[in-house]
Structure 1
Amino acid sequence: MAVTSNVNQNDLLALGRISSVYGVRGWVKVYSYTDPMDNIFGYSRWLLKQKGQLREIAVVQGKKHGKGLVVHLEGCNDRELAQQYCGAEVFIHKDQLPSLVEGEYYWHQLEGLRVIAVATGEYQQTDLGRVIRLMATGANDVLVVKGDKQSVDQRERLIPFLPDQVIESICLKTGEIRVDWDPEF
């Protein structure tokens, strides 16, 4: 496992976390942030972050086990070696992500964008704040927007991510999402 230096943290994307050892042959349990959870296996090389250090390691094998996932990492062939990885965060470089078609976005691309409510009829716009995170719900994803010094107020709003209904436009270049949303709601 090689120590990686000079990596810009903004170029990394967290995929999961190693939670504990599994068995006696060096396997570990992994909590995946991907959806579906086994998409984490689509990346054969991971960056593991522990105590501020990043180390690159190859994934030899991964599989579903019960309601979770287990992974065998390169060079990790017994329980004691596996123990050293417990608690490590799993990252990849963002450029490893598959390309998307126009109009599709990864959640990390939307986080931090400014949200502008555009009124229909008279042209008005109201700055609602920035996307601080997204949530998956049964019906649709939701933008969690937090007001800041530039916005109309400091409130937190939950705005459904419904393209062509609530979401009017997304521009990554300008860093804005325009929404058809009542600022009072």
Structure 2
Amino acid sequence: MKVEVGKFVNTHGIKGEIRVLSDSDFTDERFQVGQQIIVKHKNEEQSFTIASHRLHKNFHLLTFEGIHNINDIEYLKGSKLFQEEDNKSIELEENEFYYADIIGCTVYVNDEQLGKVTEVMETGANDVWVVQGDKEYLIPYIEDVVKKVQIENKSIYIEPMEGLLD
């Protein structure tokens, strides 16, 4: 199964480096040198091997083997990046979840449906779950707010802090 790991938002410099906005968990493992990335562009897929990875201003900068010039990669700008899921081989700690397991879960407040998680944003201090309901809500993944996560039922129960849902 392929999982989305990010979006190619722009190039960086002239030597074929790309700027990626991550949609993924465990980016240190996913963007390691030697990992395969699948780029979906206009209903076609191309596979690339990561040659380098570094962080720069909240973006992941990647280069691919065999790509040494902006002209060789720029046409893929705007494309989604995927990887083959490796059966979730990364060992999780208690209360850690794969993004793919969280996205699509229904969020409840006092047994009333708030909406579904559509995205996970990394903020540094904690993740923030984007929940789409009657409007968009930003739910911080912190113990004071998220009370129960049931991956098997695709359900998340929260107790919002004052002003969080306003």
Using structure 2 for the length normalisation, give the TM-score: 0.70
User: Deviation at 1:69?
Assistant: 5.6
Amino acid at match of 1:30: R
- Report the alpha carbon displacement of residue 17 of structure 1 after superposing the two structures with TM: 0.8
Structure 2 stretches of 5 or more lacking a match? none
Per the alignment, residue 173 of structure 1 pairs with: 152
Matched AA of 2:17: V
* Counterpart amino acid of residue 46 in structure 1: I
SS in 1 for 2:31: helix
Q: Residue 61 of structure 1 contacts residue 73 of structure 1 at CA under 8 Å; is this kept in 2?
A: yes
Answer with 166-175 or 73-82: which moved more.
73-82
Which of 138, 144, 147 aligns to 2:130? It is 144
Q: 2:31 aligns with which of 21, 35, 41?
A: 41
What's the % identity of the aligned pairs?
Answer: 21
Matches within 5 A, 1:149-168: 154-163=134-143, 165-168=144-147
Query: How far apart are residue 137 of structure 1 and its match?
Result: 4.9
* Number of residue pairs the alignment of both structures matches: 161
* Aligned equivalent of 1:19: 10
Deviations 1:47-103 (A, max 9, x none): 111111111121233445788665442233445434444444322123376332232
* Cα displacement string for residues 164-185 of structure 1 (whole angstroms, at most 9, x for unaligned residues): x221110110110112248985
Equivalences for residues 18-97 of structure 1 within 5 A: 19-20=10-11, 22-23=13-14, 27-33=16-22, 39=28, 41-42=31-32, 44-63=35-54, 70-95=61-86
User: How far off its partner does 1:133 sit?
Assistant: 2.8
Deviation at 1:12, TM superposition (A): 1.8
Unmatched segments (≥5 aa) in structure 1 = 1-7, 119-124, 148-153
State the distance in 1 between where 2:59 and 2:132 align: 33
CA pair 22-111 structure 1, distance change in 2 beyond 3 A: same
Counterpart-to-counterpart distance in 2, 1:177 and 1:146:
13
Distance 1:158 1:144 in 2: 5
Alignment of 1:116-155 (within 5 A): 116-118=108-110, 125-137=111-123, 140-147=126-133, 154-155=134-135
CA contact (8 A) 1:131 1:145 kept: yes
Question: C-alpha root-mean-square deviation of aligned residues, in Å?
Answer: 3.7
Query: Rg bigger for which structure?
Result: 1
Which of 92, 95, 110 aligns to 1:100? It is 92
